[in-house]
Structure 1
C-alpha cells in the first residue's frame, strides 16, 4: 500500500508505519503470504472499536446536554454500525489502500461493507496506538463528528419526543407545532413548520412531509436550548 499517499491525504504522519500497514491488511492477504511476516487488522479493529465508541460517546455527551441517555445510546448505535462505518471508509477512499487476497479482491472485497467497516476501525486503533487518544479524537472531529452535527443520522432520532421530554420538566411550558407554509407543486411539495414553546417560535424546519418538517424544527429548538 502507498502509506505516503494516505498520510498526505489525511495530513497525518505515522511514527510506526508497520501499524498503518497492518490496519489495511485483510486476513485473506495474510493467508496468501504465509511465508512472509504479515499481521492482519483484526486486533487493531478490536481496539479501534473501543476508541470509536468512547470518542462518539464523549462527543454526544458534551454536544447534546439535553439528550436523555436512551436517545444518546440510540444515536451512538446508528453512528458506529456497519453501514455508517462503511460510509466513513468510502468517503476516505480506504478501499483503495486495502491489502487483500487475490480471490477477495476479484470478488469485490474493496467494496464489501464488513471489510470497509473493519478497516475504518482498524485505522482508528492504529492511530490510537501510534499517537494517543487526542489524535484519534481529532481524526473523528475532522471526519465523523461534522456528519453528526449536520444531521446525517437524524433519521434515527425522534426530536419531537426529546423536546417534549425536556419541556415537561417545567410545569409552565407548552410545545405546539404549526405548518406555516406549503411550497411547490403537489407531486413535489415542501412544508415549513414552526415549533412554539410558550407561544414563541423556537425552531423552524423544512421537509418533504409535515412530520419531517416538524422533526427538523424540534431539532433546531433543541440545538437552541443546548447553546
Structure 2
C-alpha cells in the first residue's frame, strides 16, 4: 500500500525510501493505537535499540582506536540514551507522524521524550529490516552527525557522576526534590532541586522529571567545580 502524503514527506526527511512501507507504518504506531490487524512498534523498538548500539559501538572504536573501555562506555551511553534518540526524532519532526491513541494525543504524546525516543529506535529497526545493516548504519551515522566526534570524554550522565562524587567523599547519594510543576497537563514543566547532605543544592527545569533531575545534577556538579 502506498504511503500517505505525510508519511512520504517523513520518508524524505528520514532519507530512506522503504521497499516495505508497512515497516514504517508499524514503526510509527504507538501501543495506544495497537489493535486487531494493527501492530505497534514495541518489537521494532527492541530491535532498533540493538542496531543503534552496534552502530555506535563500532563508530566509537573507529573514532578513537586508543580509548579504553572505561572511556568508551560513558560516550556510548550518551549517544544511545533515550534523550539523544528523542533529539534526533525532533530533528526530523517524527512526532508529527506518530500514530497515537486519543489519550496519548491529549496528554501531549507527540512531544514526550520517551515516546519520541522509542519511535526513533523503531524507525532504525524498520530501516534495518527493510534494507539491511549497512543502510541502517549509514542512516544512523548521518542523522547523529558529528555527535560521535564531539561527545565528551566524560559523557557519563550527570546523576551518576554526582553520586560517585558524593560516595568518594563518604556522603550518601544526592536526593532530588520536585519543587514545582507548571504548564498544562499535556506539556508540563518540572522544577527539580538536587541536594547533597552537606547542604549544596542546584535547581533546573525541563519537560520531564528525568531530564530535570539530570540538568539539576549537572548544575550542581558545575557549582562544585
Q: If the length of structure 2 is used for normalisation, what is the TM-score?
A: 0.64
Deviation at 1:114, TM superposition (A): 0.9
Aligned to 2:70: 70
User: CA-to-partner distance for each residue in 1:188-220, whole Å, 9 max, x for gaps?
Assistant: xxxxxxxxxxxxxxxxxxxxxxxx9xxxxxxxx
Conserved 8 A contact 1:24-1:123: yes
Aligned to 2:93: 93
Deviation at 1:9, TM superposition (A): 1.8
User: CA-to-partner distance for each residue in 1:86-114, whole Å, 9 max, x for gaps?
Assistant: 11111111111100001101111011111
Find the aligned partners of 1:153 and 1:12 in 2 and give their Cα distance: 30
Aligned to 1:27: 31
Q: Does 1:126 align with 2:130?
A: no
Aligned to 2:155: 156
Deviating above 4 A after TM superposition, structure 1's stretches of 4 or more consecutive aligned residues are: 152-155
Deviation at 1:69, TM superposition (A): 1.0
Q: If the length of structure 1 is used for normalisation, what is the TM-score?
A: 0.64
CA distance 1:20–1:148, change in 2 (3 Å): same
- Larger radius of gyration, structure 1 or 2? 1
Cα RMSD (Å) of the superposition?
A: 1.7
From 7, 20, 38, the equivalent of 1:3 is: 7
Find the aligned partners of 1:3 and 1:153 in 2 and give their Cα distance: 35
Find the aligned partners of 2:7 and 2:113 in 1 and give their Cα distance: 22
CA distance 1:139–1:53, change in 2 (3 Å): same
Deviation at 1:153, TM superposition (A): 4.5
User: CA-to-partner distance for each residue in 1:3-34, whole Å, 9 max, x for gaps?
Assistant: 2111222231100000000000000011xxx3
Conserved 8 A contact 1:3-1:17: no
Conserved 8 A contact 2:71-2:154: no
Which one is further off, 81-90 or 48-57? 81-90
Aligned to 1:55: 55
Alignment gaps of 5+ in structure 2: 157-221
Q: How many residues end up aligned between the 2 structures?
A: 153
Conserved 8 A contact 2:71-2:153: no
SS in 2 for 1:156: coil
Deviation at 1:145, TM superposition (A): 4.1
User: CA-to-partner distance for each residue in 1:45-93, whole Å, 9 max, x for gaps?
Assistant: 0000000000000000111112111111111011111111111111111
Conserved 8 A contact 1:94-1:116: yes
